[in-house]
C-alpha cells in the first residue's frame, strides 16, 4: 500500500494524537544503512521496535529489547498479556530440569516471582510457604501450576518501570489490521483499538510478530507455510506422504472449575443450562486415523504414544482413581491444602483435556466469520464437556454426574467462564533461513541419521541462541490425524530459524518460527516460546547497535560470535550441560 494512503486511512485523534509525540525517542530513531526513516505523522506511535502480540514470546522480546535500552511498543488483542499462560488459561508445560537449566535466567526470574506473589499475598500454610519449589496447584502437568491472573500481575510488574519512564507503551485490546511495506522491509503497522474503534499507525525500524497465529506474515507479504509438509519435502520420519496446508492441530477453549457440593451443610447445584450443541457433542465419535477410543465425551481417549484406548479417571475431590490419571489433578491451579483452612471451599482446576480439543476447523487462513464460527464451536464443546461432567460422567459410587461442579469465570477473567482466547498449538510459520527438522530433534529420526541405536543428543547448531525441551506432541488435527506423540531430545534454538528468508526487519517470536508441522510439536511450549522471544529481542537490540539487518548477524562469523557472547552474558543458555 502507498504510504500516504496507508496513513490517511487511519483515524486521527484520541489517545494516539495525545501521546505519540511524547513517546517518540528523544533522539532520532537509528536505521540500518540505506534505510530511510518514514516521516512522522500526528497519529503515529514510533519507537525502536514494535512487538505485535503480548504473549510469552512478545513479553520476553519486549523485556530483552528494553533492558538493552530500546524503546518498545507492545500490542495485545485481549486485555491480558501473557498469551498461553494467562489469556488462554494454560499453566506452564515444562521439562523436568526447568528449576536449574534449559531456560533463560529471565524466565526463571518470572517463575520465582510467581511463587513470591503467592508467598507475599496468599494465606499459605507454613509448610507450603517454606517449600523450596512451591507449586500452588500441585498439578500433575507442571512444577508450577498457578492462576492466570497471577501471571498477568507478575508480567505487569516486570514491565511497569519501563512503562513509567515511557520507554515502553503497551496497547491492550489492539489488533494489527494492516501493514505498509517497501520491498523487503516493513515500514509501519496499522492497529485497531477494540475499546475506542480508532486506528493508529505504529512505526519503527524493526517489527516482531509475536501474535498467536502469525498474523503479520500475510499482512506484510512475508513468505510462510501452514499445516503439514510432505515426507518428500522434509524427509521426516513421521511426515505424511502428501503435504496439506489445511491439516492443522486442534485448538482448545479452556475453562476453570471448582467443586462445591454443599455450603453450610446445604446441598448446592450449579448446573448450567444445556448447551445448544450438546446433543451433537454428546454423541460425537471422532473420525480420526487411527481410530479414536469411542465417544469424545467419555473418560477414555487414545493413548498419545500408542493410540490404544486408555482409561482416565475423574473425582473432583482429588481422590486417587486407581491406576487411571484423575483428570481433576492434571492441571489443578489451586490445591486448597496449600492454603490455611477455610481459604478455599475447593481445589480449582483448569480443563485442557483430550475431551475438549476442537478439530472440526482451523483458525489459521480462514475468514473472520469462519474464525468466529470455530471459536464459538470450541466454546460449545467445552460447555458441553462441563455439562456432561455435571450430569452424566460416571461416578465411583455408580451414580452419574457431579452437580456440585461450578464454573469459575473469575479465574479466566470472562463472563462466560471460557478463556479469553483459544489455546493455539499451531500457527503460520515463516519460510526461514534454516528450518528445524525431525532429524535434528526427534529421538528416532536422529538415531537413523547418526547411525546410533538410539539418539541421545540433538543436532548441535553453530548459531544456537537458546535451549529447550519437550517431547514432540501433536494433538488430533483438522484433517483427521490422531495424536502424533514421540520422544525428542534436549535441543537448541538456531538463529537461522528466527530469520525470514527475505524480509529484513521482521522477526517471529511465537510459534511462527522456522519449524515444520512435526517439530513445532516440541518448540511450542511456554519456556521455549519465552526463549525464542528473548533471543529475538536481543537480536533487535544487537542489530540496532551494529546498524545491520538481523540476517547479517548470522551471515558474518565475527558478528555471530559477538552476539552469542552477548546473549550468554544476559542469562540465555545456548547449550545444554554436557
**One domain, residues 267 and 416:** yes
CB-based burial, 284-322: b 16+ in 10 Å, e otherwise: bebebeeebbeebbbbbbbebeebeebebbbbbebeebe
> What is d(CA 134, CA 153) in angstroms, rounded to the nearest whole number?
18
User: What is the count of structural domains for the chain?
Assistant: 2
Is 4 domain-assigned? no
| Strand partners for 175 | 192
**One domain, residues 55 and 193:** yes
* pLDDT of 30 above 90: no
Is 137 domain-assigned? yes
Is 32 domain-assigned? no
* pLDDT of 462 above 70: yes
User: Vertex 152, ends 376 and 525: CA angle to 5°?
Assistant: 70
What mean pLDDT is predicted for residues 378-385?
98
Mean pLDDT rounded to a whole number for the chain = 93
* pLDDT of 408 above 60: yes
pLDDT at residue 5, rounded to an integer: 55
- CATH code assigned at 519: 3.50.50.60
User: Vertex 290, ends 285 and 295: CA angle to 5°?
Assistant: 15
**One domain, residues 411 and 430:** no
Neighbours of 425 (CB within 10 A): 21
> What is d(CA 349, CA 164) in angstroms, rounded to the nearest whole number?
35
pLDDT at residue 266, rounded to an integer: 77
565 Cβ neighbours under 8 A, 6+ residues apart: none
Whether residue 559 contacts residue 86, with contact meaning beta carbons closer than 8 Å, is answered with no
> What is d(CA 229, CA 244) in angstroms, rounded to the nearest whole number?
7
Neighbours of 545 (CB within 10 A): 13
Range of the domain at 515: 39-246+426-570
Q: Which long-range contacts (CB under 8 A, 24 or more apart) does 363-366 make?
A: 363/213, 363/248, 363/251, 363/422, 363/424, 364/213, 364/214, 364/226, 364/248, 364/426, 364/427, 364/428, 365/226, 365/245, 365/246, 365/428
Question: Among 382, 403, 424, which residue terminates a domain?
Answer: 424
pLDDT at residue 64, rounded to an integer: 98
**One domain, residues 438 and 408:** no
450 Cβ neighbours under 8 A, 6+ residues apart: none
> What is d(CA 300, CA 354) in angstroms, rounded to the nearest whole number?
9
Question: Among 424, 459, 492, which residue terminates a domain?
Answer: 424
> What is d(CA 528, CA 60) in angstroms, rounded to the nearest whole number?
11
Whether residue 334 contacts residue 340, with contact meaning beta carbons closer than 8 Å, is answered with no
pLDDT tens profile 463-479: 999 999 999 999 999 99
What element of type H or E holds 440?
A: helix 438-441
Q: How confident is the model at residue 405 (pLDDT cuts 50, 70, 90)?
A: very high
Selection from 364, 375, 359 nearest residue 482 by Cα: 359
Whether residue 426 contacts residue 511, with contact meaning beta carbons closer than 8 Å, is answered with yes
Please tell me the least confidently modeled range out of 41-50, 139-148, 428-437, 549-558: 41-50
What mean pLDDT is predicted for residues 65-92?
98
Q: How far is CA 329 from CA 96, 189, 317, 412, in A?
A: 18, 43, 9, 18
* pLDDT of 264 above 90: no
Question: Among 371, 392, 424, which residue terminates a domain?
Answer: 424
* pLDDT of 28 above 70: no
Q: What are phi and psi of 485, to 5 degrees?
A: -145, 120
> What is d(CA 35, CA 27) in angstroms, rounded to the nearest whole number?
17
**Which residue is associated with the grid cell 497519529?**
43
pLDDT tens profile 430-439: 999 999 999 9
Question: Within 13 A of 94's CA, how many CA atoms are on the CB side?
Answer: 25
Q: How far is CA 404 from CA 264, 299, 564, in A?
A: 14, 19, 54
pLDDT at residue 269, rounded to an integer: 79
pLDDT at residue 34, rounded to an integer: 38
Is 46 domain-assigned? yes
Question: Within 13 A of 412's CA, how many CA atoms are on the CB side?
Answer: 26
pLDDT at residue 263, rounded to an integer: 75
What mean pLDDT is predicted for residues 195-207?
96
**One domain, residues 325 and 454:** no
1 versus 82: the higher-pLDDT residue is 82
Q: How confident is the model at residue 268 (pLDDT cuts 50, 70, 90)?
A: confident
> What is d(CA 482, CA 287) in angstroms, rounded to the nearest whole number?
9
**One domain, residues 54 and 203:** yes
**One domain, residues 121 and 182:** yes
pLDDT tens profile 217-244: 999 999 999 999 999 999 999 999 999 9
Please tell me the least confidently modeled range out of 66-80, 131-145, 398-412, 440-454: 440-454
* pLDDT of 197 above 90: yes
Is 189 domain-assigned? yes
User: Vertex 503, ends 501 and 505: CA angle to 5°?
Assistant: 125
Is 7 domain-assigned? no
Q: How far is CA 514 from CA 128, 136, 179, 497, 520, in A?
A: 41, 35, 22, 4, 9
Is 21 domain-assigned? no
What mean pLDDT is predicted for residues 8-17?
38
* pLDDT of 368 above 70: yes
The grid coordinates listed for 72 are 518498545
Is 103 domain-assigned? yes
**One domain, residues 230 and 260:** no
What mean pLDDT is predicted for residues 353-362?
98
**One domain, residues 102 and 207:** yes
CA pseudo-torsion sign 358, 364, 366, 368: positive
Q: How confident is the model at residue 10 (pLDDT cuts 50, 70, 90)?
A: very low
* pLDDT of 184 above 80: yes
| Strand partners for 484 | 474
Question: Within 13 A of 554's CA, how many CA atoms are on the CB side?
Answer: 23
pLDDT at residue 198, rounded to an integer: 94
**One domain, residues 172 and 282:** no
**One domain, residues 316 and 240:** no
Q: How confident is the model at residue 267 (pLDDT cuts 50, 70, 90)?
A: confident
Q: How confident is the model at residue 111 (pLDDT cuts 50, 70, 90)?
A: very high
pLDDT at residue 19, rounded to an integer: 35
Our measurement of the distance from residue 318's CA atom to the centroid of its chain's CA atoms, rounded to an integer in Å, reads 28
**One domain, residues 90 and 215:** yes
What mean pLDDT is predicted for residues 88-116?
97
Amino acid at each position: 500500500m502507498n504510504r500516504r494512503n496507508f496513513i490517511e486511512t487511519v483515524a486521527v485523534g484520541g489517545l494516539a494524537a495525545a501521546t505519540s509525540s511524547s513517546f517518540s525517542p528523544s533522539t532520532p530513531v537509528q536505521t540500518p544503512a540505506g534505510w530511510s526513516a518514514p516521516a512522522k505523522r500526528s497519529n503515529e506511535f514510533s519507537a525502536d521496535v514494535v512487538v505485535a502480540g503480548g504473549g510469552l514470546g512478545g513479553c520476553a522480546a519486549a523485556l530483552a529489547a528494553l533492558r538493552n535500552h530500546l524503546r518498545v511498543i507492545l500490542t495485545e488483542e485481549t486485555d491480558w498479556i501473557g498469551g498461553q499462560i494467562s489469556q488462554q488459561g494454560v499453566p506452564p508445560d515444562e521439562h523436568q530440569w526447568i528449576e536449574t537449566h534449559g531456560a533463560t535466567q529471565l524466565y526463571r526470574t518470572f517463575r520465582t516471582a510467581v511463587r513470591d506473589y503467592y508467598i507475599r499475598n496468599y494465606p499459605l500454610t507454613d509448610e507450603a510457604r517454606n517449600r523450596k519449589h512451591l507449586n500452588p496447584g500441585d498439578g500433575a502437568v507442571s512444577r508450577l501450576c498457578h492462576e492466570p491472573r497471577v501471571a498477568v500481575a507478575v508480567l505487569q510488574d516486570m514491565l511497569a518501570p519501563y512503562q513509567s519512564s515511557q520507554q515502553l507503551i503497551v496497547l491492550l485490546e489492539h489488533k494489527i489490521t494492516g501493514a505498509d511495506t517497501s520491498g523487503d522491509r516493513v515500514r509501519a503497522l496499522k492497529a485497531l483499538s477494540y475499546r475506542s474503534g480508532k486506528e493508529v499507525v505504529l512505526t519503527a525500524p524493526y517489527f516482531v510478530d509475536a501474535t498467536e497465529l502469525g498474523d503479520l506474515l500475510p499482512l506484510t507479504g512475508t513468505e510462510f507455510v501452514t499445516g503439514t509438509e510432505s515426507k518428500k519435502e522434509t524427509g521426516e520420519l513421521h511426515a505424511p506422504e502428501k503435504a496439506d496446508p489445511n491439516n492443522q492441530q486442534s485448538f482448545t477453549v479452556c475453562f476453570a472449575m471448582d467443586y462445591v457440593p454443599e455450603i453450610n451443610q446445604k446441598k448446592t447445584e450449579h448446573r448450567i443450562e444445556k448447551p445448544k450443541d450438546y446433543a451433537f457433542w454428546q454423541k460425537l465419535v471422532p473420525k480420526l486415523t487411527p481410530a479414536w477410543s469411542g465417544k469424545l465425551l467419555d473418560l477414555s481417549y487414545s493413548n498419545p504414544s500408542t493410540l490404544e484406548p486408555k482409561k482416565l479417571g475423574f473425582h473432583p475431590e482429588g481422590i486417587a482413581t486407581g491406576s487411571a490419571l484423575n483428570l481433576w489433578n492434571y492441571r489443578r491451579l489451586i490445591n486448597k491444602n496449600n492454603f490455611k483452612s477455610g481459604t478455599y471451599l475447593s481445589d480449582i482446576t483448569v480443563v485442557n483435556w483430550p475431551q475438549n480439543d476442537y478439530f472440526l476447523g482451523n483458525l489459521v487462513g480462514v475468514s473472520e466469520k469462519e474464525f468466529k464460527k470455530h471459536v464459538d464451536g470450541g466454546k460449545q464443546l467445552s460447555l458441553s464437556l462441563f455439562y456432561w461432567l455435571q450430569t452424566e460422567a460416571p461416578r465411583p459410587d455408580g451414580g452419574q454426574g457431579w452437580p456440585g461442579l461450578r464454573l469459575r469465570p473469575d479465574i479466566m477473567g470472562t463472563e462466560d467462564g471460557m478463556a479469553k482466547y483459544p489455546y493455539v498449538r499451531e500457527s503460520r510459520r515463516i519460510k526461514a533461513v534454516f528450518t528445524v527438522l525431525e532429524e535434528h530433534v526427534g529421538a528416532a529420526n536422529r538415531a537413523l541419521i547418526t547411525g546410533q541405536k538410539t539418539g541421545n543428543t540433538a543436532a548441535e547448531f553453530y548459531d544456537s541462541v537458546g535451549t529447550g525441551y519437550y517431547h514432540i506432541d501433536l494433538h488430533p488435527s483438522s484433517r483427521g490425524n490422531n495424536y502424533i506423540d514421540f520422544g525428542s531430545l534436549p535441543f537448541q534454538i538456531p538463529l537461522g530459524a528466527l530469520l525470514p528468508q527475505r524480509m529484513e526487519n521482521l522477526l517471529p517470536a511465537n510459534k511462527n518460527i522456522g519449524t515444520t508441522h512435526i517439530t513445532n510439536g516440541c518448540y511450542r511450549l511456554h519456556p521455549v516460546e519465552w526463549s525464542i522471544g528473548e533471543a529475538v529481542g536481543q537480536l533487535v537490540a544487537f542489530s540496532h547497535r551494529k546498524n545491520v539487518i538481523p540476517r547479517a548477524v548470522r551471515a558474518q562469523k565475527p558478528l555471530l560470535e559477538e552476539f552469542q557472547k552477548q546473549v550468554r552474558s544476559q542469562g540465555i543458555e545456548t547449550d545444554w550441560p554436557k
